[in-house]
Structure 1
């Protein structure tokens, strides 16, 4: 049964990288159910990196480097916090933490949709610095702890009102 879960998780990650970003979160949860949680994050990382390489090749010209440069200084502390968290928790706490994080991300994405934050082609203002720092730290922490930075980036790019192609290119990087 674990092999079926792993195969479905891999398929969902492939779909997530090409069109349905939220599916990667489901894959992370499935992998955490099918194997020990810390090992599942390593397995998910390999699959996500493979998908990322393909997405970067496909959308590399559409990336918004200004947005990415703004995020990088905040991602590093998030990565360090995530590494510290991983070193301190056991498998059960990590499994529950991943579940809570994924639930929070689903609720945040629903709230973003309800607020109807649609991209506007004439809105080139950068996102507020507090949003960028928060998104960067959260992306760093969640990518280290649960390979779940995708939802953080999706919410950030939605709130930044990034149009579709820039959204795909920036999210890929």
Structure 2
């Protein structure tokens, strides 16, 4: 009787493994990718930057795009360096949806690139440039574009809303 239970258990485990393998191969991204998506947290679910600051605003804009940046890059003046350390692309080439970063002021400043115009100028949006909590939009002339670093966000592999 004891051997029958072992064989029965072995057969059940083998059938489950075969079934999981079959289901995994039938799904576009694979079963394990679906399980990973469901189990692992969204890296952008919590904005740790201080409300009213440029860093908080840019984090939220990147999150709205379904992309991600670091949650612990500290003050804006450190973002380019910390992004590089985290294997993000940081260069002198602006792109819509990228982060404009400058050493401006005591703690630096970041802004979100809304668009790049045909003449090379940039339309950016930002918070706390002039007044705390104030969201503004301005144009960076083409001749000044080279004065900044640009951080290119990565695609968020597990975007989820807080409700889910």
TM-score band w.r.t. shorter chain: under 0.3
More helix by share: 1
More strand by share: 2
TM-score between both structures, scaled by the size of structure 1: 0.23
TM-score between both structures, scaled by the size of structure 2: 0.24
- Larger RCO (CA under 8 A, 6+ residues apart): 1
Larger Rg: 2
